[in-house]
Amino acid sequence: MSALLLLIGLIVIIIGILIYQKMTLVTQKSEGFTGATAETQLSFCPVNTTAYLNLNGDTECCDGSVTMNECMGTPICAISTNSSLPSCSDVQASYFRTMGADKCPSGMSYYEPLSGNPGCASQLNGNKNAPVNDTVPQCIIYSDMNANYSNQNSCYNKKNLQTISTDATALFKSNGVTTSFQGATLVPQVIGPVTLQMVQVSYVPKTTSPAKTCYYASDLSKMIGIQQANGILTADDASARMSAINSGIFNGECGAMAAVYNTKTLAEKQLRTF
């Protein structure tokens, strides 16, 4: 009898230890991707997911709640290599690529630091959580959109500058056509409480002309929206300007200026000036 009681006691102790370990694992919340490389197997779950043990004893990550060691949401990835789920390292790498394509200028890779704002850089350190040094091209992804608008070092502005520069190169061609693209730069425009970095495009209508400047419809639309939101423009004035932009006759908009000087499909007197 004493041997049987001892055996039962040992079983109860073992079960208690296993329950404690599983409960501890279930309540473990991930600290996110920060600090790990895409080339190594992660030892923790992606942000806002919960680690749990599946029936085979593999550690997986659940996007949702975990009840009695069962993912009630969506199983995302696995820390254990024996699971049928994709590895968390692969999920991390895919996440970084997706964020980079959405947020970073071309030639830069996305990263998330140990603290502070994420960003993009042309070269990352070994942990993929910061630029390799302060001298490589880099930018910051601010959590506040006004900060993204106002800071020249924001990835938003750097990507916008890069995109418009590439497009303007084709819009204002220089191979024997009328106009010649001269470059683009970020120019701050103070609009009430908001500073908007707008991409100013420079072009020369003909070889003997002084350079002129224009802005793309996307930046002009943002400016008009901010002006209206801050009471600088009435709703009617804002609507009239947006109509002129959408019609391609807003003086100072690059598409309209190209139509006048490059394609010659529009007369300059047809342009709307505000």
11: CB partners within 8 A, 6+ apart = none
In this prediction, residues 250-269 reach a mean pLDDT of 93
Residue 37, pLDDT score = 45
* pLDDT category of residue 175 using cuts at 50, 70 and 90: confident
Higher pLDDT, 9 or 213: 213
Residue 97, pLDDT score = 93
pTM given for the model: 0.75
The yes-or-no verdict on residue 148 having pLDDT over 90 is yes
Higher pLDDT, 9 or 175: 175
Higher pLDDT, 58 or 7: 58
Q: What is the pLDDT of residues 14-67, one digit of tens each?
A: 444 444 444 444 444 444 444 444 444 566 787 778 999 988 888 999 999 999
Neighbouring C-alpha atoms within 13 Å toward the C-beta of 227? 18
Output the 3-class SS for the chain.
CHHHHHHHHHHHHHHHHHHHHHHHHHCCECCCCCCCCCCCCCCCCCCCCEEEECCCCCEEEEECCEECCEECCEEEEECCCCCCCCEHHHHHHHHHHHHHHHHCCCCCEEECCCCCCCEEECCECCCCCCECCCCCCEEECCCCHHHHHHCCCEHHHHHHHHHHHHHHHHHCCCCCCCCEEEEEEEEEEEECCEEEEEEEEEEECCCCCCCEEEECHHHHHHHHHHHHHCCCCCHHHHHHHHHHHHCCCECCEHHHHHHHHCCCCCCHHHCECC
The yes-or-no verdict on residue 223 having pLDDT over 70 is yes
Q: What is the pLDDT of residues 78-135, one digit of tens each?
A: 987 788 899 988 888 888 999 999 999 999 999 998 789 999 999 999 888 899 999 9
Question: Could you give the CA distance from residue 46 to residue 111 in angstroms, rounded to a whole number?
Answer: 14
Q: What are residue 204's phi and psi, to 5 degrees?
A: -115, 120
In this prediction, residues 140-163 reach a mean pLDDT of 96
